[in-house]
């Protein structure tokens, strides 16, 4: 018999350790062809996937899923989901029962779940879809879950929103009473991060040294910031860093700094959180990937320019660069929503990039993401090095060939996302020869007050010509050097290069 767990990789021992014969699924040799096929599919997939099989929703999952459930692994493997997820069963149980009953697939975006995966009820967020798995006779035998964890993105957006509102409210205060009247309502609007928060005179209550009491951070003006720590979040550097940023905003208000200095602090805060929304790109073994993000030199340093590079379930690489209209916190929030939606759709919906962009446009309308965004989405087959891409109103990428020549990948203009009009989208393809690089970017790299888009692309093309020996990182560094201190727009660069 073919080993059904051959593709389990680091989980193979855990699979072999499970007493399948004594569990609800029975001996592996008796598994239905549908179950065996589904298990083989999920083990071959790099995206986090789990099966909930049979009426007890017995769990079978791949290595990518382990990080999502933490200490529940390896006991969760082969166990009924009701036992594994007892603390969140009221939320997910009805969804699984609905799919098993044949009422169709489910979709949840940034669903909040208090999951006990590290010894405490942790505040977590997930975007996921439950879909039926049917046997040859059409009978539903189980449910497949394709999921991505969005905890970091959701919490970062929440903290970014609070920091922005706090800075706005105290930007023109003159007195400590004004600070208290304006800052406390904002701080207390986020009890998930700042439970029992208060601003008190310095030394008003003794400092707790046990580590179990509230946190006290001295501020200027004879005040201390005092807050508890959420029992549902890890006490890590990200949490403590957020508290320091809150304290920094309060200190800035109390110091009654000039408007320019206040704006500079807000820019630094916003830029730090903006960068946290842009995760590190995937780095496949046989393709170089490099990215850069440069904030605008003026304004809030937070906007809608974004990038992403992630592995698809079929093992290919998805790369995308986009530009949401606007340069404020609303644009950053919309960017994060669109980026998360695109990841989920691309992972769950196999097909060419134009199909994914069409689905993303529909999802933006359905979920009320009321903004315009240009975006270019590409897929790279890491076996054939064929690049497929679709462009929704974005500046065209550039192809740096192994001979040093540069080609603009110009395609017929197609409408941006969010316009709320029916649009026909197309996709294009080319094979990347050894030594070929593709440069994706946002318009901040090429547009200036003294030159238009076409002139900027021509200048970029001239800069790239003859640099075919540079790695993706070196190309990013060279192009970043052309970004001046007077850039009026965010700049995003994403470069993929097939080694020579």
- The whole-number pLDDT of residue 484 equals 60
Specify the range with the lowest mean pLDDT, choosing from 104-108, 134-138, 227-231, 366-370: 366-370
Specify the range with the lowest mean pLDDT, choosing from 61-65, 307-311, 480-484: 480-484
For 155-173, what is the mean pLDDT?
92
Residues 272/249, Cβ–Cβ less than 8 Å: no
Q: What percent of the chain has pLDDT over 90?
A: 68
Rounded Cα distance between 458 and 464, Å, is 10
* Beta strands at 398-400 and 386-392: parallel, antiparallel or unpaired: unpaired
pLDDT band at 302 (very low <50, low <70, confident <90, very high): low
Rounded Cα distance between 76 and 78, Å, is 6
Q: Mind listing the pLDDT tens digit for each residue in 201-232?
A: 887 654 444 445 688 999 877 789 999 999 99
Rounded Cα distance between 171 and 168, Å, is 5
User: Nearest to residue 227, comparing CAs of 247, 209, 203?
Assistant: 247
- The whole-number pLDDT of residue 214 equals 86
Q: Tell me the pLDDT of the chain averaged across its residues.
A: 88
- Domain ranges, ordered by start, for the chain: 6-149, 153-271, 280-497
pLDDT higher than 80, residue 486: no
Locate 214 and state its tokens: 């509230």
pLDDT higher than 90, residue 66: yes
- The whole-number pLDDT of residue 258 equals 37
Residues 306/324, Cβ–Cβ less than 8 Å: yes
Higher pLDDT: 431 or 252? It is 431
Strand partners, 269: none
Residue with tokens 């017929």: 412
pLDDT band at 260 (very low <50, low <70, confident <90, very high): very low
For 91-105, what is the mean pLDDT?
96
pLDDT higher than 80, residue 263: no
What pTM, to 2 d.p., does this model score?
0.53
pLDDT band at 4 (very low <50, low <70, confident <90, very high): confident
User: Nearest to residue 187, comparing CAs of 270, 243, 264?
Assistant: 243
Instruction: Respond yes or no on whether the N-terminal peptide bond of residue 47 is cis (omega within 30° of 0).
Output: no
pLDDT band at 176 (very low <50, low <70, confident <90, very high): confident
CATH 3.30.450.20 fits 6-149, yes or no: yes
Higher pLDDT: 281 or 276? It is 281
- The whole-number pLDDT of residue 259 equals 45
Most confident residue range from 111-125, 172-186, 358-372: 111-125
Residues 297/488, Cβ–Cβ less than 8 Å: yes
Locate 167 and state its tokens: 């800075």
Specify the range with the lowest mean pLDDT, choosing from 17-26, 56-65, 106-115, 334-343: 334-343
Architecture, CATH, for domain 280-497: 4-Layer Sandwich (3.60)
CA dihedral 279, 280, 281, 283 (to 10 degrees): -150
- The whole-number pLDDT of residue 400 equals 97
Q: What percent of the chain has pLDDT over 70?
A: 90
Q: Mind listing the pLDDT tens digit for each residue in 354-400?
A: 999 999 999 999 888 889 999 999 999 999 999 999 999 999 999 99
pLDDT higher than 90, residue 472: yes
């Amino acid at each position: 018999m073919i080993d059904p767990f051959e593709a389990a990789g680091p989980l193979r021992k855990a699979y072999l350790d499970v007493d399948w014969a004594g569990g609800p699924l029975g001996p592996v040799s008796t598994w239905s062809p549908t179950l065996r096929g589904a298990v083989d599919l999920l083990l071959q997939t790099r995206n986090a996937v789990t099966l909930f099989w049979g009426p007890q929703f017995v769990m079978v999952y791949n290595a990518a899923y382990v990080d999502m459930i933490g200490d529940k692994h390896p006991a969760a493997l082969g166990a009924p989901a009701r036992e594994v997820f007892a603390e969140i069963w009221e939320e997910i149980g009805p969804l699984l029962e609905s799919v098993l009953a044949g009422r169709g697939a489910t979709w949840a975006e940034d669903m909040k779940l208090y999951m006990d995966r590290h010894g405490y009820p942790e505040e977590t967020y997930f975007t996921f879809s439950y879909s039926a798995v049917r046997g040859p006779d059409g009978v539903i035998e189980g449910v497949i879950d394709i999921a991505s964890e969005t905890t970091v993105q959701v919490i970062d957006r929440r903290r970014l929103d609070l920091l922005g509102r706090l800075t706005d409210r105290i930007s023109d205060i003159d007195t400590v009473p004004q600070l208290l009247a304006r800052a406390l309502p904002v701080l207390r609007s986020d009890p998930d991060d700042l439970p029992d928060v208060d601003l008190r005179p310095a030394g008003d209550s003794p400092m707790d040294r046990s580590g179990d009491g509230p946190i006290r951070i001295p501020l200027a003006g004879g005040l201390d910031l005092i807050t508890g720590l959420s029992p549902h979040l890890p006490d890590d550097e990200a949490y403590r860093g957020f508290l320091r940023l809150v304290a920094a905003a309060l200190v800035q208000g109390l110091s009654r700094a000039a408007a320019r200095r206040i704006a500079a602090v807000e820019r630094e805060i916003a830029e730090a959180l903006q960068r946290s929304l842009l995760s590190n790109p995937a780095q496949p073994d046989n393709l170089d990937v490099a990215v850069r993000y440069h904030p605008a030199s003026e304004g809030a340093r937070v906007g809608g320019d974004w990038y992403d590079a992630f592995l698809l379930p079929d093992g290919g690489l998805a790369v995308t660069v986009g530009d949401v209209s606007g340069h404020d916190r609303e644009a950053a929030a919309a960017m994060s929503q669109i980026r998360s939606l695109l990841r989920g759709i691309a992972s769950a919906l196999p097909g060419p990039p134009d199909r994914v962009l069409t689905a993303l446009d529909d999802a933006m309308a359905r979920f009320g993401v009321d903004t315009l965004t240009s975006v270019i989405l590409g897929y790279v087959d890491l076996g054939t090095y064929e690049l497929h891409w679709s462009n929704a109103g974005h500046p065209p990428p550039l192809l740096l060939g192994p001979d040093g020549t540069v080609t603009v990948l110009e395609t017929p203009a197609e409408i941006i996302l969010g316009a709320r009009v029916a649009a026909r989208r197309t996709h294009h393809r080319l094979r990347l020869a050894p030594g070929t690089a593709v440069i994706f970017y946002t318009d901040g790299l090429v547009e200036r007050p003294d030159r238009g888009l076409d002139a900027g692309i021509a200048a970029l093309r001239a800069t790239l010509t003859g640099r075919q020996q540079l790695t993706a990182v070196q190309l990013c560094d060279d192009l970043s050097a052309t970004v001046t201190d007077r850039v009026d727009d965010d700049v995003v660069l994403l470069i993929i290069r097939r080694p020579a």
